[in-house]
Structure 1
Amino acid sequence: MTSVAPAAPFGRVLTAMATAFHEDGSVDFDGTSAIAAHLVANGHDGLVVSGTTGESPTTTIEEDGEILAAVRAAVGPSIKLVAGVGTNTTVHSVELAQQAEKNGADGVLLVTPYYNKPSQKGLLHHFRQVVDASELPVMLYDVPSRTGTTIAFDTYAEAAQWDKVIAVKDAVGDLVRALRINTELDLAVYSGDDANTLGFLAHGACGVVSVAGHAAGNEIKAMFDAWFAGDTVGARQIFTRMLPAIDAIMGVPNYGATTAKATLQLLGVINNRNVRSPLVPLDDEEYAALRAGLAASGLI
């Protein structure tokens, strides 16, 4: 029995892609373009550029614009590009949204301001300013483990009335809440946590914004294809095979950029795993654990 796949306005399989850096810390645009091309060649129909995994807290506005332009040139016009514009300064986020529109983004990813922990009223004010800054559709991003703030359901309900707010990247992990956001507010829901993606599918998600997709894009796509073809057993089998890799990629305290870079180096996509401080590359023990997890899932 085939299920009806929900609309996926930004694509179905997206990865919050890493940004490559040279040894001196400058952006490696050739390496970044290679990462984008690798993802598109392996199951992706969308990419998130300059998200947290892209080390956006350490890149400048100018660099973010140049990275987006380089990725667009590398992948062509058919791949959905979502630009991360979330910061804890509204003026900064407004400027990033305006720049993203000029540089070829199809939408923006707007995370809750981190560290300063605004009230729900403050969140709505921040969101409204950024939403109004461009004509691009918006994916809100809820990840309280990193920001310290959760978007309340009533806040979602108000933001959902704005035409340009069309999707949510949910890393809260509350599957029933995600289902309500989708069914009651008509927002497309993307899993923001690889370990919960299969559960999110069962609760109405249309896609994923992944980190494991740096290595497992084809497998994630196969899981989605199986699920929406009604083969829930097959989808579960694919997900189960991916679990060692997901655990390895997400099991390091500063996962994301560090494990993504190391994964891409193991796959031969880039030739180093440079990150910007305050992150540091994986040590030898962490690198070996990552390699073992990827190997156990058959990805290297």
Structure 2
Amino acid sequence: MKEAGWIVALILAALGAAAFLLRHRLARAIGYVRADQAGGEGRREESPRGNGARSDRQWLGERFELDELEVSDVMVHRTNMRSVNADNPPEAIVREILQSPNTRIPLWRGSLDNIVGVLHAKDVLRALDEAGNDLARVDLMKFAERPWFVPDTTTLQEQLNAFLRRKAHFAIVVDEYGEVEGLVTLGDIIEEIVGEIADEGDIDLAGVKKEADGSVVVDGTVPIRDLNRALDWDLPDEEATTIAGLVIHETQSIPDEKQAFTFHGKRFVVMKRDKNRIARLRIRPVSLEAVPRPDPERT
């Protein structure tokens, strides 16, 4: 079985096992009681074919509200997306791929909005082996996969179904004008269902550093959703994508360095500003007595 096939099969098997083992507990949590447990009360209507697997899949999608979230809610934003210029020397491209924690990396020409292919680390290593490690003989574009573009308004349920149909788990997200918004993987959707999946290859969230005093130093480009996941926070991401965008939205201004604000139960201090961009922030939880208003003050 090909790599993509067995990875998808493994993930589906894990989800199926978890759903089977926890089915009674989860059913009770949402008010469903089997007929043989409650004298026939609360029985769920079955399909004419008695297709329990189909009902379970439908329930799973409803339980995690995959139809209410879009790929733009879970994607890796373009500001944090690892990519490489396809016109770079082969050795530079290979070095970037080997240094990346991801197995796939998009290739672009001219600008990031012109994605021309996606390279898989395994294919690059195979090409190097076939060329006797002579990069001059390697045409990396020959091994690049054709990029798959999906609208940013695609629901997670639709994208999950599309991943399974295509036996793929990587797509480039674009807006209505065809501009690249980011990328989404099958793993992003699975983590939305079951929670963060950690393994020995995981690294800390780029642009986030915890300090000894309990505060967190964050690059302005870090997505709010990623920060919430990493730190178990609940900062709103409806009006802004990045943490800098949240501060600008709340303050209705581009704050100066050392300016501080309190909102959403957190204290935000602007550490660095680069022209009209908030480059770095220090964030710390505030006490319950703090006034949760975005009133600026000097620190």
Which TM-score applies when normalising by structure 1?
A: 0.30
Q: RCO (CA 8 Å, sep 6+): is it higher in 1 or 2?
A: 1
Please identify which structure carries the higher helix content.
1
Which structure has greater strand proportion?
2
TM-score (norm 2): 0.30
